[in-house]
Amino acid sequence: MPPRELDMNIARYFMSVKHNKTNKDLEPGTLKGIQGSMKRYLSDKDYPHDIMTDKLFKHSREMLRAKGVDLKENSLGNRAKRADPCTWDEIQMLYQKKLLGSGKFRNLNIKVT
């Protein structure tokens, strides 16, 4: 497929792709991962251009960037499911309850799971 045509197809894909089961937009990081997978696939098939760096694929990269900005403005991609780190007080409580300390990794694993 000629680079210009492939670039347009990739751009259209990024604008329309949704989650299969929920039909919701994918997070920006997921879209970037898909782009990397496409690059790897094309490279494995000896495609002569790199979709992530080649000037011929500027449109699809700009489309992906714009989609990522739009998704972040709509609260997607802000790592809502991220685990917050423990505070100093929480760590001290784990030591006091003897859930954390030398040789206590098994206890912590049992308590967490």
Mind listing the pLDDT tens digit for each residue in 41-87?
999 999 999 999 999 999 999 999 998 888 888 766 655 556 678 88
**20 DSSP assignment:** T
Specify the number of domains making up the chain. Answer: 2
**43 DSSP assignment:** H
Sign, Cα dihedral of 53, 31, 20, 39: positive
**78 DSSP assignment:** S
High-pLDDT (> 90) share of the chain, %: 42
Domain assignment of residue 89, given as a range: 83-113
Judge whether 21 lies within some domain: yes
Judge whether 40 lies within some domain: yes
Element (H, E) at 66: helix 58-73
Can you point out the beta strands (E) in the chain? none
Token pair for 34:
């898909």
pLDDT, mean over the chain: 83
Judge whether 10 lies within some domain: yes
Considering the domain architecture, whether residues 9 and 31 belong to the same structural domain is answered as yes
- pLDDT at residue number 7: 95
